Chains A and B, each alone.
Chain A
């Protein structure tokens, strides 16, 4: 009798707890620790305070936020905003003061340089052209890559390989890597119909590793971690290495540029602009997959 009663009570208590748990789990959304984060770890030696108002390229976002997080962790009085709107908007807003620091994942256009902003590359980004290791082709020119992605070259024999059709693989629409690759290689909005679409660098690497006739493009970091499964092609005679990107001989690369008007910067923003070129700053950019500029 006692045991029965006891177990009933137990069931009741547990089920009520479960229901309450369910409801609170649904209702009580934690505030997201969004773009605006304020570090609350150990205090810095010299207390810098203020808001870093930045924005621009979606491709730089990951690297920039990594550096911003690092910086705000070192300087608990600093908070930041990064508004990922795209390179062009980033440069426009940096020029007119909407952002104090703007980021672009490309070279600045002449019109943007003429606004008198200070601009510096904070990091580089390389995109490797990946093929299956069994593929006999080791090198392509930019023009050949462009023709392949436009669908003008459809057989590997046309570029010195075996006689088999080329399987063109691309990233999904909206991907920053895709945008940069299309822009640098020169086939914007002209991707061949029927190209295989894979989401994410890793999926492209896996696909190319499986499919003998595939050609894809992946970031350097993905190439390094998959170097046993896929082959990174030499592009116009330059191997896909960090050194060649830094030297400028590997062409499918782009700078991550920072641009600002000196007079707009507050104390925190000035310190952050300097921080990006310190070892710590460069390392945090590298952690996010970018290539150091020094």
Chain B
């Protein structure tokens, strides 16, 4: 009897302890819920704050009655000269240069990136893959300004001395080369993951039908992994468009002129803002924010197009 009561009491104590612990857990849960919510809010607030700031500053020159002076938006985005001292603000040639540079980086960087991913995932022996993969991860971790210094010290003299007919290294070509290297790690690592995710049975089936290794890779694996590979390409393009610090050191940044050859100097949209923000004032400063607005829209448009393409490819 006595021992039973003791057991009962002990049980009750244990129950109480559990109850207490549970209550603590719920409070803790709620607190953490708030913590998570606040963290999520930070991102949302940041997006809105940046967008509102850029647009409110950058759209002012196009609104009649702006105290710093006004400028035609059409002239702004189609103009081929950027001469703030003469009140000429045209970024058309920069938009074109940005498109050229991005397309060039895709043309060089994407095939190399995808083939490297195939090599690591399918062809290379595990030993070699384990050497190549960390190298690529390291490439991803290098700060962009160091790419710029490398470009300035190696690529620019190389282009000047061995490639360019104009004895000038700062060029669209240098920009494209730098950007191609910079987007490689993103494309390779995302593509590799996608290729590895292709079910083994596909491969085995293809081999069973008598396909060669190359046929398996190009006819079976790559089509099956295309959605993931495209995601990598999209991320890579995003990096190429937004890149500034590396590009500014190898681009030349002229004040006018659409690039006619890949040996011409270029000024990209991103460069324009960084180059002149230091000294700009009045309308000039606002026009730099307007340049930011255009960059913002440019990236949004490209993202929408790429996502459309991606979803179409996936549907097929």
Q: Quick check: A197 and B32 within 8 Å, CB to CB?
A: no
- A66 interface residue, CB < 8 Å from B? no
Q: Quick check: B254 and A193 within 8 Å, CB to CB?
A: yes
Known contacts A165-B166, A193-B255, A211-B169; A172 and B31 CB within 8 A of each other: no
B22 CB, min distance to chain A CBs, angstroms: 13
Q: A-B pairs with CB below 8 Å: how many?
A: 86
Residue contacts A-B, CB under 8 angstroms, 20 given: A12-B31, A167-B168, A172-B275, A172-B278, A174-B276, A174-B281, A176-B279, A189-B83, A189-B85, A189-B86, A195-B255, A196-B170, A196-B265, A197-B255, A197-B267, A198-B253, A199-B276, A210-B152, A210-B156, A211-B169
Instruction: Enumerate B267-284 residues with CB–CB distance to A below 8 Å.
Output: 267, 274-276, 278-281, 284
Q: Which residue of A lies closest to B24 (CB)?
A: A5
Report the separation of the CA atoms of residues A206 and B148 in the bound assembly, to the nearest whole angstrom. 13
Report the separation of the CA atoms of residues A194 and B172 in the bound assembly, to the nearest whole angstrom. 13
Known contacts A199-B275, A211-B169; A174 and B252 CB within 8 A of each other: no
Q: Which residue of B lies closest to A19 (CB)?
A: B38
- B residues bordering A, Cβ < 8 Å? 28, 31-32, 35, 38-39, 42, 82-86, 152-153, 156-157, 160, 166-170, 252-257, 264-265, 267, 274-276, 278-281, 284
Chain A residue contacts of B170, Cβ below 8 A: 196
The digit string for A23-62, where 1 denotes a CB below 8 A from any CB of B, is: 1000000000000000000000000000000000010000
Q: Which residue of A lies closest to B288 (CB)?
A: A174
Q: Quick check: B157 and A174 within 8 Å, CB to CB?
A: no
Chain A residue contacts of B168, Cβ below 8 A: 165, 167
The digit string for A147-179, where 1 denotes a CB below 8 A from any CB of B, is: 000000000000000001101000011111001
Report the separation of the CA atoms of residues A211 and B84 in the bound assembly, to the nearest whole angstrom. 27
Q: Quick check: B255 and A191 within 8 Å, CB to CB?
A: yes
Report the separation of the CA atoms of residues A37 and B42 in the bound assembly, to the nearest whole angstrom. 34
A-B residue pairs, 8 tightest by C-beta? A174-B279, A197-B253, A173-B84, A196-B252, A172-B275, A199-B275, A194-B254, A193-B256
A106 CB, min distance to chain B CBs, angstroms: 16
Known contacts A12-B31, A194-B265; A173 and B85 CB within 8 A of each other: yes
A2 CB, min distance to chain B CBs, angstroms: 12
Q: Quick check: B28 and A8 within 8 Å, CB to CB?
A: yes
Instruction: Enumerate A196-244 residues with CB–CB distance to B below 8 Å.
Output: 196-200, 206, 210-211, 213
Chain B residue contacts of A172, Cβ below 8 A: 253, 275-276, 278-279
> By CB atoms of chain B within 10 A, which of A15, A172, A193, A197 has the most?
A197
Q: Quick check: A174 and B167 within 8 Å, CB to CB?
A: no
Report the separation of the CA atoms of residues A174 and B279 in the bound assembly, to the nearest whole angstrom. 5
Report the separation of the CA atoms of residues A188 and B85 in the bound assembly, to the nearest whole angstrom. 9
Report the separation of the CA atoms of residues A191 and B264 in the bound assembly, to the nearest whole angstrom. 17
Q: Quick check: A15 and B254 within 8 Å, CB to CB?
A: no
Chain A residue contacts of B42, Cβ below 8 A: 22
- A16 interface residue, CB < 8 Å from B? yes
Apart from A175-B279, A210-B157, what 4 extra A-B contacts exist at CB < 8 Å? A16-B31, A194-B254, A194-B264, A206-B152
